[in-house]
Structure 1
Amino acid sequence: MIGHRPVRRWWSECETFPRDRLAQQQLTALRRQLTYVYQASTLHRRRMLDVGWHPADLTDLDSLRDLPIIDKADYLDGLREEPPWGTARAADPEAVQRVHFSSGSTGDPVPVLWTGPDLERWADLYARMAYGQGIRDRDVYLCLFSYPWFVGGLGATAGYQRIGATVVPGGSADTHRQIDTIFRYGVTAVGGTPSFLLHLAEVAEQAGRPLRDCPVRRVMVGGEPGGAVPATRALIEQAWGARCFDGYGCLEFQPVAWECEEQAGGHLAEDFVHAEVLHPRTREPVPDGTTGVLVLTHLDKQATPLVRFWTGDLVVRDSTGCGCGRSHARLTGGVLGRADDMLVVRGVNVFPSAVEQVLREHPAGRGQHQIVLDADVTDRHSGYLTGIKVEIELPDGTRTAAAELTAALRQTLRVHAQVVAVAPGSLPRHTHKARRVVRRGGGTERT
């Protein structure tokens, strides 16, 4: 139902299904979905035939692992084979109502499609997310996610509208206008990337209009790991005077997981996706509580459904119950980072989010920062990392702070580290997704 709903504890009854009932629901949905993609998608039918597999062979959830994993390279190959929409497409072109694209930062933009029912499902999942974070129809929501081409802005807009909230589609530009809108129109909830929300707070503070004095009481962040970094979350909550909730999705799966009022890890939408957590190298399942790569399968997507899609995102799953009463598994700590962004320093795994946590815990470590991989921290013979270098904006006369941050990184991460102070305002500001790892000439960096 679109629009106003009566006050209730749960947006959807399935949020509290017992685990065995949820598993049975997934199995029923998977059987239906795999039959659909076998009949309608060139990519999936071919991959099933390649391994001599048929949808009737799905006897339980574990037997899904008999199918090969699909990654972004497979999707791109399909786009080249059957342009412009690719071999993953399962819906007739006439049924497609929406196309969103990747950023195209590493090549041509990649399209992903939605049918009408896909869009309805998408909006309802975003509504469930927001409702679980305390949003109601009396709220005024300012969406600070980007709209041009990007996938997140319209999804959030549709979801908050479905609850009945008043939505202002602001986007991620016009910083001073955003600040004025928040105060002028009584905005009570905002959503955006952690880096843009911190940038907005910085600008507002400089303008003498600190956002901790504004009426916003809920902040939803996504697009970057920062919302799940405790020190970054604390910084956002302090700057905005509001509670901060982390959300996770990707272009191919929207949305995937989001925090509830407990702020104890994002609940997977397990009626929408089947989730596996696999070892980054062996691709074998890892137990709950162990870091692995999230692999997702759509349970009811029509336009571009994906089966066993390798997201590349590193997570830790917890399938125990949450204090909120929801039964869907959680991603504790959110997304730790990308498998291809994980740094290996003399055998020690270092995530950019871990570096951010150490920096943000120090009073001087709240400025803009980036991790630099160059010849200073790379062995010139082997190409392996010998340490990490961090550039961070520090005011003049804070050499002691740089030394303290260096010591904190070394002590916490157990790797060689060096912190280089740069002038305030010299590092790039991000209105979309922050780029935390920068590779410069002279460092070839192998893992």
Structure 2
Amino acid sequence: MADDSFPARPAIAASQLIQLRRLFTALLPANPFYTKKISQAGVPAAVASLREFSEKFPFTTKQEIDQDQRTHPPYGTNLTFPLDRYTRFHQTSGTTGAPLRWLDTPESWSWMVESWTEVFRAAGATASDRVFLAFSFGPFIGFWLAFEAAQRIGCLCIPGGGLSSAARLRVMIDNGATILCCTPTYALRLAEVAAEEKIDLRAAHVKTIIVAGEPGGSIPALRTRLQELWHGARVFDHHGMTETGPVTHECPRQSGMLHLIEPAYFAEVVEPASGKPAAFGQIGELVLTTLGRVGSP
């Protein structure tokens, strides 16, 4: 298991403030979307403290990004650099509306990949692991980040795009995959197909199943069922978004508890109705500022 210690709160806050100031130096006036937004809000362009940033700087909503991309198709104006600096395209699933399109520079992409390595390290992954990624070759950002993060820590990466579920199972077994990355329901589906095809999952070497995309990974009943079907493999939850990159990973010591990747984000929990900070222990809405995705924050 990787070292799961955490830095002290003052050290985290100091690092976040330094990164936030660097971000604003890059954004203003290069990024049209945020230059206009900050100017209209009448807030200072310099960041004096995290508290001032939290109190004075306006939120950015999905609706704003969507409208910006509709007004300035196809990518909108949330671009800090000229278009030829961007080398990565991804988009959201469009579950609640038109898909949002997101571009990344090599630097912004590398920052997100590094955050994803934290997911693997927290799950105990090492260079000796073989990672099977049961996703298609599409614009879904999670597959690409996970694939390259596993490569970065030295794992053998086995792509599962373009294969049937039965074929994926055989590839996993033949290549000795030790980590499976997929959605919770697809891990269930693979187990169902294994039973249908008379494939004994005990022949697989999967010790860890990293899941995302659905809430099932933190639901005790589903976790237990997956662990039974996969003969003791640990289910390890995390979540992320196209707009932010990887956000959380499961606590190595407490199943079902998610830790925010705080070196990469400034996080606030607010009351949805008022936008004011939620009281300690109060359920609220998570607001994230990406500190290193400079190309399209």
Q: What is the TM-score with the length of structure 2 in the denominator?
A: 0.93
Identity across the alignment (%):
31
Is 1:62 aligned to 2:54, yes or no?
no
The aligned runs of 1:274-289 (5 Å cut-off) are: 274-289=266-281
> What SS does structure 1 have at the residue aligned with 2:109?
helix
Q: Name the residue aligned to 1:168.
A: 158
Amino acid at match of 1:244: V
Q: Name the residue aligned to 2:289.
A: 297
Post-superposition offset of 1:84: 2.0
Unaligned segments of structure 2, at least 5 residues: none
Post-superposition offset of 1:173: 4.9
The aligned runs of 1:195-344 (5 Å cut-off) are: 195-241=185-231, 242-262=233-253, 263-305=255-297
**Which among 16, 20, 26 is matched to residue 16 of structure 2?**
26
Distance 1:83 1:156 in 2: 29
Post-superposition offset of 1:128: 2.0
Distance 1:220 1:83 in 2: 35
> What SS does structure 2 have at the residue aligned with 1:252?
coil
The aligned runs of 1:402-413 (5 Å cut-off) are: none
Larger radius of gyration: 1
Larger RCO (CA within 8 A; separation ≥ 6): 2
Amino acid at match of 1:176: A
- Return the structure number with greater helix share: 2
Q: Name the residue aligned to 1:147.
A: 137
Distance 1:130 1:270 in 2: 16
Distance 1:36 1:303 in 2: 9
Amino acid at match of 1:271: P
Alignment RMSD (CA, Å) = 1.9
Amino acid at match of 1:277: V
Cα 1:173–1:105 change in 2 (3 A) is farther
> What SS does structure 1 have at the residue aligned with 2:28?
helix
Residues 212 and 238, structure 1, Cα contact 8 Å, conserved in 2? no
Post-superposition offset of 1:172: 7.6
**Which among 119, 143, 146 is matched to residue 129 of structure 1?**
119
Is 1:50 aligned to 2:40, yes or no?
yes
Amino acid at match of 1:59: A
Post-superposition offset of 1:191: 0.5
Distance 2:275 2:124 in 1: 37
**Offset from partner CA, 1:337-377 (integer Å, 9 cap, x none):** xxxxxxxxxxxxxxxxxxxxxxxxxxxxxxxxxxxxxxxxx
Distance 2:218 2:163 in 1: 24
Post-superposition offset of 1:264: 4.9
Residues 92 and 140, structure 2, Cα contact 8 Å, conserved in 1? yes
Amino acid at match of 1:63: E
Q: Name the residue aligned to 1:36.
A: 26
Q: Number of residues paired by the alignment?
A: 294
